[in-house]
Structure 1
Amino acid sequence: MSTHYVGSEIGRLRRVMLHRPNLSLQHLTPSNCQDLLFDDVLSVERAGKEHDVFAETLRQQDVEVLLLSKLLAETLAINEAKEWLLTTQVSDFRLGPSYAAEIQGWLRALPDSQLARILTGGLTYGEVPAGMVNMVVNTHNDADFIINPLPNHLFTRDTSCWIYHGVSINPMAKVPRRRESDNLRAIYRWHPLFAQHPFISYFDEQKITDENATIEGGDILVIGRGIVLIGISERTTPQGIELLARSLFKHHQAKRVIALQLPKHRSCMHLDTVFTQLDINKFSVYPAVIQADSHYWNLTPDEHGGLCMIEEPHFLNALGQALEVDHIELIATGGDKFEAEREQWNDANNVLAVRPGVVIGYERNTFTNEKYDQAGITVLSIPGDELGRGRGGARCMSCPLQRDDV
């Protein structure tokens, strides 16, 4: 079985994948940021430095940090992987057969690290060698993208997430993020770190192309004991949850899925922006969204390879039973109504546990961090004035590859 295993939200974190933003943020402008799912443009240098602090904080906690760009460059050293990515991301349907062949040929000759940078950061018509004359070229401006940038690769949690002994390479809800899944699919298929250690791929056999079946990792909490908690959100649909649940049950990786309905607002885009686990029985919560008596769907396998789906009340009671604890302690977002709304927007609830009771979060969320401290939770604070403007915190920016059970 694979060396990669995520058995909980709070067990000791051993290995994680991050993506340091660079070229994709350089390609982010006021005129295109909304289309690329960002509210604003970020300072490239400051965002990079803040991300370096995040990575170093993890290393100081004895967590092995793998960088997506490096993994992708090492994957591209394998010819089969390079050809698959080039034909997938620079397709005849996107550029036309003749120009696609030219661009693929030019990209094929680049160093692997530079090609990885382009596949994550984007490529414009003005950045390729002059002299490529073509009907497609002549109908585009230099600033138009041949390959769109992927600034949301910063949020490695969403594109793929490990659930017990397998990985879900997620069918993303928004078109600007769907190419991210191809980069991860190539890494998991060909990189020696993964190719040499068999693991379950929950969605690999299910070529999900219908946009109604979407799921993103920010909505998935692996709470242990064979239980998975998933938010029905702006980005994760009931159809996507049903497909994932069936695969989890088929591979005997879960015995129960709890699906919780969320408002479809950008402020609570994913479950982990309003609810994360901090310790065995302690959770951060934004009470304006998550209520103790919220209804939820209880999904269990039936005897015929299908699902039993029952809507039930009292979400908090169900969570306590699933975790086998007598009491769940909810730590609400700090401050008065206005301060709490601001801090939730700035990802005060989106913290990453490195072990039970120790989490990484943005230093700017002072009211919430103080409440965590009072509840016995240690906060390892990191700067996030720039990174936070991308609307994602430490949990969003991390894809655990190896984490202990609890």
Structure 2
Amino acid sequence: MAQLNVGSEIGQLRRVMVHRPELALRRLTPSNCKDLLFDDVLRVESAGKEHDAFQKVLTDNGVEVLQLHTLLAETLAISEAKQWIMERQFTAWRYGPPLQKEVLSCLNDMTLDNMAFHLIGGMTVSELGHYPHSLTMNTLKETDFVIDPIPNHLFTRDTSCWIYGGVSMNPMAKIARRRETVHLRAIYKFHPKFKNADFITYYGDKDVNYDHATIEGGDVLVIGKGAVLIGLSERTSPQGVENLAQALLKTGQAKKIIAVQLPKDRSCMHLDTVFTHMTHDCFSCYQGVNLDTSPCYEIRLGDDELVVAERIKSGLFETLANTLEVDNLRMIPTGGDVFEAEREQWNDANNVLAISPGKVIGYERNVHTLENMEKAGIEVLTIPGEDLGRGRGGARCMSCPIQRDGI
């Protein structure tokens, strides 16, 4: 496998990890979707076809696509890796000793592909079968989960993010997503594509309670030229940013780290829902959030090698222009009037994925924003998103770049 390195947001994208919708999304119901961090119940078959269209655009443009499900199943084929995963997800503390034994026995009787299917998609009491000696089991209904589904694996961007020559395996803010990180840690630790590769692990690969120090990849933009922009959102905390920044700066992989504060609002859950890089001097930007006047900070190492945050007075956009060595930045607004702009931002109009400078993938439904981008000289490759978009994630959210050129 070629060198693992993500040098920018816009350089030629060469390798990416995705996850096609499957069992976990079929588990979504009106009564549980909020707990599983979804606003709606998706039509899984339609979402799957839309995701296939997304993958086809990637492969048609020379991007190698890795499937998370396949990587997980191949990782489970390594006995040490399977044991490592089981020890971190199926403890007696979670289940009680009798049910723990039964769940592990059931999983170990499965094919590796089916095991990966249920690790991601979950398992109900009825699928496991009744086990009367477990007090825990006797308190559950047939439709209760003994393995919770993880439908947010769809958004591979968040769980791990590659930054220059290394990766952060992110401690997730929400309980519903924390098992995702176990899978990514195992893949990067044991899978042949990664085990012997030369990369740095910045953060998140310890069996510790990260407490308030959470971070998600949708808030991390690898701007290029040694710079990283990170959003302080409802899911990425200052503590998480400081810990990641310290590792990036100490390893020398990043030279400049900028943090910008976001509203703690569902509609702008991550930085990339309101702001993404499309070409050297051009960003998509939702005008409903004024990032240029939002508090932003440069994070550097102090004399004692602890991070120091200093408020940036000049504003985010001037700082980014100087960092990118361009005279001015072009900000392409979310399209339409104030109502249309809010609707399209909600439908991930700003959450586009650049596959090369000036060429991005976005949902075809966001017609006003696409028109603005095309007028600015951005080539937009459109994909359907009538169901995928209801998951509140666009092309950038659904992709974890593993290899991308710098600028």
Task: State the TM bucket, normalised to the shorter chain.
Answer: over 0.9
Contact 1:2 1:198 in 2 (8 A): no
2:398 corresponds in structure 1 to 397
Provide the secondary structure at the position in 2 that maps to 1:47: helix
Give how far 1:132 is off: 5.8
Q: Which residue of 1 aligns with 2:378?
A: 377
Following the alignment from structure 1 to structure 2, what is the Cα–Cα distance between the partners of residues 387 and 67? 17
Question: TM-score, normalised on structure 2?
Answer: 0.97
How many angstroms apart in 1 are the aligned matches of 2:73 and 2:65?
16
Supply the distance in 1 between the matched residues of 2:87 and 2:127 (Cα, whole angstroms).
20
The Cα shift of 1:350 comes to 0.2
Q: Which residue of 1 aligns with 2:31?
A: 31
Q: What is residue 135 of structure 2 aligned with on the other side?
A: 135
SS at match of 2:28: coil
Tell whether the 8 Å contact from 2:171 to 2:204 is kept in structure 1 after alignment.
no
CA-CA distance at 1:294 after TM superposition: 3.3
Residue of structure 2 equivalent to 1:115: 115
Moved more, 207-216 or 53-62: 207-216
Q: Cα distance, 1:175 vs. partner? A: 0.5
Q: Does 1:86 align with 2:86?
A: yes
Do residues 196 (structure 1) and 196 (structure 2) align? yes
1:198 Cα deviation after fit? 2.8
* 1:338 alignment counterpart: 339
Give the length in aligned residue pairs: 406
**TM-aligned CA deviation for residue 133 of structure 1:** 4.2
The 3 A distance-change label for structure 1 pair 281 and 124 is: same
After superposition, the C-alpha distances for 1:208-252 in whole angstroms (9 at most, x for unaligned) are 524311100000000011100000001101000000000101111
Counterpart for residue 351 of structure 1? 352
User: Which string of whole-angstrom CA distances, capped at 9 and with x for unpartnered residues, describes residues 239-280 of structure 1?
Assistant: 000000001011111111100000000000000000000000
- Mapped partners of 1:197, 1:109: distance in 2: 32
**What is the distance in 2 between the residues matched to 1:155 and 1:108?**
27
**Once structures 1 and 2 are overlaid, which stretch shifts more, 339-348 or 248-257?**
248-257
Name the CA distance, whole Å, in 1 between partners of 2:176 and 2:149. Answer: 8
CA distance in structure 1 between the partners assigned to 2:158 and 2:210 by the alignment: 18
> Which amino acid counterpart does residue 269 of structure 1 have in structure 2?
M
Give the CA deviation at 1:88: 1.5
Amino acid at match of 1:267: S
Q: Given residue 223 of structure 1, which amino acid in structure 2 is its aligned partner?
A: I
2:120 maps to amino acid:
T
Describe the shift of the 1:311–1:2 C-alpha distance in structure 2 as closer, same or farther (beyond 3 A).
farther
Q: Give the Å deviation of 1:307.
A: 1.8
Alignment match, 1:95:
95
- TM-superposed CA distance for 1:102, in Å, is 1.8
Per the alignment, do residues 180 and 205 of structure 1 end up closer, same or farther by CA in structure 2, a change over 3 Å counting?
closer
Contact 2:299 2:307 in 1 (8 A): yes
Q: Which residue of 2 aligns with 1:221?
A: 221
- Offset of residue 21 of structure 1: 1.1
- Gap change, CA 1:256 and 1:271, over 3 Å in 2: same
Take 1:94 and 1:221, find their aligned partners in 2: how far apart are those partners?
35
| 1:122/1:146 contact within 8 Å kept | yes
In the TM superposition, what whole-angstrom CA distance separates every residue of 1:159-209 from its partner, at most 9, and x where no partner exists? 000000000000100010000000101100000000021311111565552
Question: Structure 1: which amino acid aligns with 2:342?
Answer: E
RMSD, aligned α-carbons: 1.3
* TM alignment of 1:165-204, pairs within 5 A: 165-204=165-204
Letter in 2 for 1:384: G
- Paired residues of 1:2 and 1:165 also in contact (CA < 8 A): no
Map 1:280-359; keep pairs closer than 5 Å.
280-313=280-313, 314-359=315-360
Greater shift, 360-369 or 134-143, is seen at 134-143
Q: How many angstroms apart in 1 are the aligned matches of 2:2 and 2:301? A: 24
Q: Which amino acid aligns with 2:108?
A: R
Q: Which residue of 2 aligns with 1:268?
A: 268
SS state at 1:99 partner = helix
Unaligned ranges ≥5, structure 1: none
- Aligned partners of 1:235 and 1:270 also within 8 Å: yes
Amino acid at match of 1:194: F
Q: Note the residue ranges of structure 2 that are not aligned, 5 or more in a row.
A: none
Report SS of the residue matched to 1:310: strand
Moved over 4 A (4+): 130-133, 204-208
**For the structure 1 residues 76 and 132, does the alpha-carbon distance in structure 2 shift closer, same or farther, using more than 3 Å as the test?**
farther
**Structure 1: distance between partners of 2:398 and 2:204:** 23
Q: Deviations over 1:18-37 (max 9, x none)?
A: 00111001111111101000
The question of whether the paired residues in 1 share the 8 Å contact of 2:132 and 2:138 is answered with no
